[in-house]
Amino acid sequence: MPHKENNDKSSFFKDVWEVVKLIPSGRVTSYGAIGAYLGRKGSARMVGWAMNASHGDDSVPAHRVVNKQGLLTGKHHFDVKNPMQVRLEEEGIVVIDNQIQNMDQIFWDPSIELAL
């Protein structure tokens, strides 16, 4: 389980990645929800940086992290051969105009799902 408080950027990134690895297939979460779970409310941008830094590590399903409205804001960081939308659709998630549909039904909140 990730450490809830850590000021070191690289450790924070690792904690973010550990949370993202727990998101089930067919579900998504937001940058802000991950930051809040890790005790860093307001750190959505830093979570985004962690997602960007995770590319190349297939064990981190970065495609399951979107903005709070369900927009695929990180899509330009994905390989053109296997883009973010394709990965999500392979998991049964419907994406129209770069936005997750039924976000309220598939949203995975780590603060609830991983409650200690």
The structural domains of the chain, with segments of one domain joined by +, span 9-108
Percentages helix, strand, coil for the chain, rounded to the nearest 5? 45, 10, 45
Give the pLDDT confidence of 14-62 residue by residue, as tens digits.
999 999 999 999 999 999 999 999 999 999 999 999 999 998 888 999 9
Q: Is 99 left (phi over 0), alpha (psi -120 to 50) or beta?
A: beta
3-class secondary-structure state, position 29: strand
Cα separation, 100 vs 17, whole angstroms: 21
Class of domain 9-108: mainly alpha
Question: What global pTM score does this model have?
Answer: 0.86
In angstroms, rounded to a whole number, what is the distance separating the alpha carbons of residues 15 and 107? 20
Q: Which residues contact 104 (CB under 8 A, 6 or more apart)?
A: none
Q: Report residue 3's pLDDT band, with 50, 70 and 90 as the boundaries.
A: very low
